[in-house]
Each structure stands twice: as C-alpha cells, then as structure tokens.
Structure 1
Amino acid sequence: MRLTLPDRYFDYLPWAAATLLVAGIVHIVSVLLMPTVAPRDAYARVVAAVGAAPANKLALLPPMAPGAEALPFEDPAFAEAVCVFDLTQGMLRVTSNADGEDYLALSFHARAGRVFHAITDRAAIKGKIDVVIGDARQMDALQGASDEAPPQEVRITAPTKRGFVLVRAFARRPSEQTRARERLAGVTCERFDPPKD
C-alpha cells in the first residue's frame, strides 16, 4: 500500500509535538531562573545606586532623570529612598510619621528583588508607621520574649537574610519634589534590638 502525502505528515506529528513541548519547558525554566542567575539583579542595582551607604540605614536615591534611572520603571512623580538590610546583623525597624495627606509607600524586597510585603500610610496606627523585619528564627525569639500585650508594630518575616526596603513619597507637582524628599528624610531605618526581660 502506497502512502499519500498527508499520511507522511502524520508520521512527523509526534516528533513536532515533542519538539514544541521540550521548547516550551526550556523557555519556562529559563524565564523562572533568570532573576536568580542574572548578574545585575535588583539587589545589586540597589546596592550600586546607594553606593557606600551602610546596611540598615536609609539612603535617598537621586532624582529621576531620563536615561539615568537608578532603578527600572521609576516614576518621576515619586521621590525614592532605599534601605538595604542584612538580618545577620540583627532585626530591622522602619518607622515614619504619616499625616494622612501625603502618600507614603514602603515595599519590602527579598534578595532577588521579589516583593514580600508592602504597606502605605493608610496602615498607620495613630499617625505612625512602625515595622519590624526579621527572619523566622528572630521572629520566633521576639514572640517568645514579648509579654501577653499585643505588639504595637507590624512584624514581617523576611524570606531571605538580605534584601531592601524601597520607600516612595508622592509629589503631586514637580515643585513638590523637595517636600517629598523631606518626608523621606523623616523615615528611620535602623537595627532593632528586642527588649530583654
């Protein structure tokens, strides 16, 4: 029996499907691994942007200029500051006053740049934002050391020992950039030592 042309195409169909399946798997794996193996990940770019600023201290980023952005996808309507943290040196406390009028946002990023928590001035308690960051072991120790009273701060467990906090203040008009940067200067980012019993 002689094969016709369409029958020959059906012989190649399983090979074509297998090739597409393997190509799809390789593509998905490479996209998922890219943040981990990229030489200039988010953490490296933030460290380069703040220069010699020490860990666990807030550093203002330079005003955004076209072609000279410190971080990708920056919005010129925001003034930005970064606090690079290293939890091997201890827990971190980030505090700020919030007046309810001026937008202030904090996003907490793991070593690879993934956001693991975010908070805005709307979450302020009695006009104050107070956040403590630690790894799982540090948070367990803090929970065990605290008394029965509920904590007054937001406690966040970081998935990695190193990362950064991006603080953004909104300026409604370009003329308000200086005021937005002054609001960022009022944010504190410092090492937190839990109270001893």
Structure 2
Amino acid sequence: MRKVLYALLLGLVGAGIVHIVVLLLVPQFSERDAWSRLAMKSGLYTMTRIDDQTGGPPVVKSVDPLFFAASCRFDLADGIVRLRSPIDNLPFWSMSVYDRNGHNLYSYNDLSATEGRLNAIVLTPAQMIGVRKTLPEGLEGSVFIELPISEGITVVRGFVPDASWKQAVARFLDQASCEIVDFAS
C-alpha cells in the first residue's frame, strides 16, 4: 500500500511539473500572439488601433474598458523609431514598449513627458552612441528609450473617463505616428 501511495504522489508531482512547463511554453509556440495579430492588421511603423472602438473585434483584448489603445510594430535594424502625437490635452495617456515576446521593457506617461506630449525615441545602445555624438535636429525634448532589442511593439493608451472624452482620445491615437527617424535630415 505504501508503494502505491508513493507512486500516486510521484505521478501527481510529475504531472504538475509537466503542466506548469507546458503553460510557460505556450507563448513561445503560439502562432496567434500579439505580434502575429498586429502583423495581420498592418505593417511595421503603422499605428494600429487595438481596442474595440474600431468597429471590429479588438486585436488584443483589453482588461480596462476606460482606455483606448493603439500599437505599432517596429524593427530597430531599420533605424531609430520615433513615436509622437501633436495632441496633449488628455486626462492621462501612457506608452509602453514590449519585446516581440510581449515582455514589458519600458513604460512612461504624460506626467513624465516633456510638456505632457507623446514624443519618444526608441533605439538600441549602439544607435544611442551615434545620437549622443550629434543630436539630430528636432529630437530635442524627446524621451530616449534605449533598449537591447531589435524588434518590438509599442502600445499607446489614452484614458477615457467618460463619453465626452471619447472623440479627443480617439483623435490623439489616430494622429499618433510611429516612424523611422532619418539622420540625414
């Protein structure tokens, strides 16, 4: 009887370990991750609304209905990436940078931005060395986000406290841009 209980306990522990490992590996093998779903909606360097306010199903499900969101995929091998929006009169906005696997690497919001404006530069450490030598014109006041990645996703969220803010937040996200910065200009 003791051997049977030992075998059952060992089997349950082994099954638990296998279950945990499988759950942790699912994102690595999933073909329907956020990167893939965004790739089906738009190309690199294109701000794409990911909330359910676009009329179709949301690209990525949001846990908070009080936020509208837009996202942009980028590849730093093509150059440094700039995110900005000309609108700055929202109750609150935030921006996050994720690696291709969905790990949050950097976040900031309107309270830590210059004049409350979305104006961020995402670049690698090697690209940052070049920027430090001669800051390209027009990048003054930008928030520099130096990350050791090549491909990533940015997500910009705008807070919608009530229905009267829906249009302003939608305009903020619709006018947001995600572009490669040209050093030659």
TM-score bin, normalised by smaller chain: 0.7 to 0.9
Which consecutive segments of 4 or more residues in structure 1 shift more than 6 A?
none
Displacement after TM superposition at 1:40 (Å): 0.2
Distance of 1:161 and 1:54 partners within structure 2: 16
Displacement after TM superposition at 1:60 (Å): 3.3
- Cα distance change, pair 137–18 in 1 and its aligned pair in 2 (3 A): farther
Q: Which of 177, 180, 183 is the equivalent residue of 1:191?
A: 180
Distance of 2:183 and 2:6 partners within structure 1: 63
Pairwise CA RMSD of aligned residues? 3.0
Which has more radius of gyration? 1
Displacement after TM superposition at 1:71 (Å): 1.3
Q: Which of 110, 113, 119 is the equivalent residue of 1:130?
A: 119
Distance of 1:97 and 1:36 partners within structure 2: 37
- Matched with 1:4 is none
Q: Which runs of 5+ in 1 are unaligned?
A: 1-7
- Matched with 2:19 is 27
Q: Which runs of 5+ in 2 are unaligned?
A: none
CA contact (8 A) 2:87 2:172 kept: no
| Count of matched residue pairs | 181
- Matched with 1:84 is 73
Which TM-score applies when normalising by structure 1?
A: 0.75
Secondary structure of 1:35 counterpart: helix
Secondary structure of 1:189 counterpart: strand
Q: Which of 10, 14, 17 is the equivalent residue of 2:6?
A: 14
- Matched with 1:64 is 53
Q: Which of 24, 33, 39 is the equivalent residue of 1:47?
A: 39
Distance of 1:13 and 1:191 partners within structure 2: 63
Distance of 1:137 and 1:21 partners within structure 2: 46
Distance of 1:141 and 1:33 partners within structure 2: 37
Deviations 1:99-152 (A, max 9, x none): 465211112121122221111111112333432212343334445x358xxx84
Which TM-score applies when normalising by structure 2?
A: 0.79
